[in-house]
Structure 1
Amino acid sequence: MSHSIFPLFALSLSLLAIGCTTEETDPDQTFRTTTIGCGQCSDSNSPQVDDFEVPELNEDGDANGDSVSLVGAITPGNVLVPLEAIGDELVAHTAGSDVMGLELIGYKLRVNTPNGLFDLLITAYEHYESWADGEADISAYGLRYASAEYPTGDGGSVCPGYPDDAAVVTVIGGETYDREHKVIAIQGDDDWFTLACEGQAAYKMKRLNYGPNQDFRAGTDPATPAERTATLKMITADYCGAGTSYTAQGTEVDWFDVGGTILPSVPPTGALLEALWTDTGAVCLDTPRLVTRTEVEEECDLPTCDEIDPDKYAIVWSTYI
């Protein structure tokens, strides 16, 4: 059976030579970097403090999987106040007002870890352009940690490998993610919020306008959980759907969604089809972005994309290399 997937996306592919750029220097870049970890850390680029990871926090103080819990916010006057995520924004509730956005610079998030209390100093607040044309910007914070050893917040960025004051942490309210299996862990629970570093799949998912609090479909409803899961699988090259990533930070790939919200500024011609994606992973695989088909076949047996009828699948993404 032979079916061309190109009509799904109305693309005319042509060879495109383009230099490597970072996510922030060129938000309209065609080639996007994928993520599995970072070059400076062993297996994760999740936010960290004192070797404990803080990819999610609970407003009521429940501990995350690394036994880290939120205590609250500390004002510049050293007063402990409640903190919550409203949508995708952090809000500190002081006696006089609710503080958010740029006004939070100088505030600290106090967390309790198995090694004691630590403060995460908010050093920056920025907005970055969405990768989806015409969609709202996303916000990000600079967070660096403070302790008895680093009383002025000189412990470095919570995102390994990033400059101390870089605004590279975005908030996703009401949802957390299983980074091992590349799926949603908790959804629709306003007590939890995710902190995602720029290099992480959850950050990129939000930058693609697929977050749970973003207007995605006709400017109203967010992407569905299945669409978000498909996005996580696609970004991390989890072809088989069980959580194994067949990519590395910095690997280039073109991604296009079936809804037409993510398209290249210049349609690349001559690109090789990599895979078609649903929330279970790749439904077909032609040319992996980093490894060989043989390596993937050691985990699962996927057909090539000319062997399937794409109309029979709820395809969310198409990727090319």
Structure 2
Amino acid sequence: MKTVMGKSVLAGLCLVLAAPAFAGEPSAATPRKSSPGQAVAPATEAERYALRCQGRAPNRDVWPQGTMLWGTRRGWGDRQEPDERRGVLVSVDLLPVKPAASEVSSLKLEGGRLVAMPEASRSLVGTVLRGTSSEGKPVEVAVCGAESSPGDAELVWYRLEAWNQRAQRWENPCVATNTVPDPRALAVGGVWDASGAHQAVEGKFTLACENGAITKCIRWGYKPWASHNGQSLAELHQACTRMARADYCGNGQSHTSQDTPIDMYDRLGVLAPTTQRSAAWDPERASFEAAWAADGATCLSRTRDRRALETVMQECPGRFQKGPAVELGDGDRCTVRRVGASPGAALLRNRVY
């Protein structure tokens, strides 16, 4: 049975969501300016916090899609960082640096919602949290708005600003696109490292931007905090993050590109294969790509970016081997399989043009 996302999905396509307007508390503080090449004087703590959540214009930089895990910018500089396994914000602490209200001592995560402790009714807007970049450096993150998703009451979208130490200003840490110029984020339990592996870390969570694989997989129906027919979707969500980025080796390296159409289906029946032709998907043009587990592909028939299968085998030596074709059913057939893994036990499969 298909979810509300419809009969097909686009792996690299940004999810087009109406970006609500969020208004922070007005402030008399004026953002600091500098001439090209001139260093910006460090702001005091009072100046820094006074500048947060002021409803700046959307960041309209457009970066490549389809490869991002967290959906955050790779660096604060003008030059795009080539390493897709980097991000300016990859985890966040539940203990606030500066609460929006003195009564908020900490936060807790309930499903996809951040809740103030000890009083759940307290607003989080204005709260500053301590985050961490992929390089392990601290970064302050301000919650500047929260809105429940109109189509799913379980999801709360957060508008974020992170303190850019280099430029001495608050900026949206999420990667923007033409269709989503001011992206928001979901709160998701646990953290993901540069290899794409998920770990439960006490006191930490992830603010996953809407243009990244973590959030896309949730929107496709794989909520890691939920269950389907009594079975947890946590591992299925993790397998989806590998599949969305074509991370065959489970090392965080993607093999896809922007706006690549795919069709996915899983063992639990959250999504089933698309059989009807539409403007978004033609099943007759598609062929089986791979079967997926939480730590990468269990078997492959082809690559999404059309490189030779041998290149994947060289990327992670000893992980895959060629052998007799393995029939998975419904016309899906593997020609390269994971050593020591059963292709038929995969959580998720997909087809691609």
TM bin (shorter chain)? 0.5 to 0.7
Instruction: Tell whether 2:247 aligns with 1:230.
Output: no
Give the secondary structure class of the aligned counterpart of 2:224.
coil
Instruction: Tell whether 2:142 aligns with 1:121.
Output: yes
| Structure 1 residues 92 and 221, CA gap change in structure 2 (3 angstroms) | same
Partner Cα distance (1:111, 1:282) in 2:
31
Question: Which residue in the other structure is 1:217 paired with?
Answer: 228
Aligned-residue offset at 1:199: 2.7
| 8 Å CA contact 2:267, 2:348 repeated in 1 | yes
Alignment of 1:44-83 (within 5 A): 44=84, 48=88, 54-59=89-94, 71-75=96-100, 79=102, 81-83=104-106
1:194-237: CA deviation from partner (whole Å, max 9, x where unpaired): 121223222223223334322x222x553243x34322221221
Partner Cα distance (1:116, 1:241) in 2:
25
Question: Which residue in the other structure is 1:191 paired with?
Answer: 203
Alignment of 1:239-318 (within 5 A): 239-263=248-272, 264=274, 266=276, 268-270=282-284, 271-293=286-308, 294-299=310-315, 300=317, 301-303=320-322, 307-310=325-328, 313-318=344-349
Question: Which residue in the other structure is 1:159 paired with?
Answer: 174
Partner Cα distance (2:85, 2:250) in 1:
21
Give the secondary structure class of the aligned counterpart of 1:248.
coil
Question: Which residue in the other structure is 1:13 paired with?
Answer: none
Partner Cα distance (2:159, 2:304) in 1:
31
1:248-284: CA deviation from partner (whole Å, max 9, x where unpaired): 3443322222322124594542112111222342232
Give the secondary structure class of the aligned counterpart of 2:291.
strand
| Structure 1 residues 126 and 47, CA gap change in structure 2 (3 angstroms) | farther
Give the secondary structure class of the aligned counterpart of 1:126.
strand
Partner Cα distance (1:115, 1:137) in 2:
31
Aligned-residue offset at 1:136: 5.8
Partner Cα distance (2:288, 2:210) in 1:
26
| 8 Å CA contact 1:36, 1:236 repeated in 2 | yes
Aligned positions, number: 265
Question: Which residue in the other structure is 1:109 paired with?
Answer: 129
Q: Percent identity?
A: 22
| Structure 1 residues 279 and 160, CA gap change in structure 2 (3 angstroms) | closer
Give the secondary structure class of the aligned counterpart of 1:244.
coil
> Structure 2 length normalisation: TM-score?
0.60
| Structure 1 residues 237 and 308, CA gap change in structure 2 (3 angstroms) | same
Instruction: Tell whether 2:15 aligns with 1:23.
Output: yes
Partner Cα distance (1:274, 1:147) in 2:
40
Runs of at least 5 residues in structure 1 that lack an aligned partner in the other structure = 1-8, 11-15, 27-32, 49-53, 60-69
| 8 Å CA contact 2:184, 2:210 repeated in 1 | yes
Instruction: Tell whether 2:77 aligns with 1:42.
Output: no
> Structure 1 length normalisation: TM-score?
0.65
Partner Cα distance (1:36, 1:149) in 2:
23
Which of 102, 113, 126 is equivalent to 1:89? 113
One-letter code aligned to 1:307: A
| Structure 1 residues 71 and 143, CA gap change in structure 2 (3 angstroms) | same
Partner Cα distance (1:190, 1:265) in 2:
43
| 8 Å CA contact 1:252, 1:289 repeated in 2 | no
| 8 Å CA contact 2:85, 2:252 repeated in 1 | no
Question: Which residue in the other structure is 2:76 paired with?
Answer: none
Partner Cα distance (2:222, 2:202) in 1:
18
| 8 Å CA contact 2:67, 2:84 repeated in 1 | no
Alignment of 1:130-145 (within 5 A): 137-145=154-162
Instruction: Tell whether 2:120 aligns with 1:98.
Output: yes
| Structure 1 residues 74 and 44, CA gap change in structure 2 (3 angstroms) | farther
One-letter code aligned to 2:186: T
Partner Cα distance (2:124, 2:181) in 1:
14
Question: Which residue in the other structure is 1:51 paired with?
Answer: none
**164-173 or 237-246, which deviates more:** 164-173
Give the secondary structure class of the aligned counterpart of 2:170.
coil
Runs of at least 5 residues in structure 2 that lack an aligned partner in the other structure = 3-7, 19-64, 74-79, 330-341
Partner Cα distance (1:265, 1:242) in 2:
32
One-letter code aligned to 1:139: V
- Alpha-carbon RMSD: 4.2
Give the secondary structure class of the aligned counterpart of 2:187.
strand
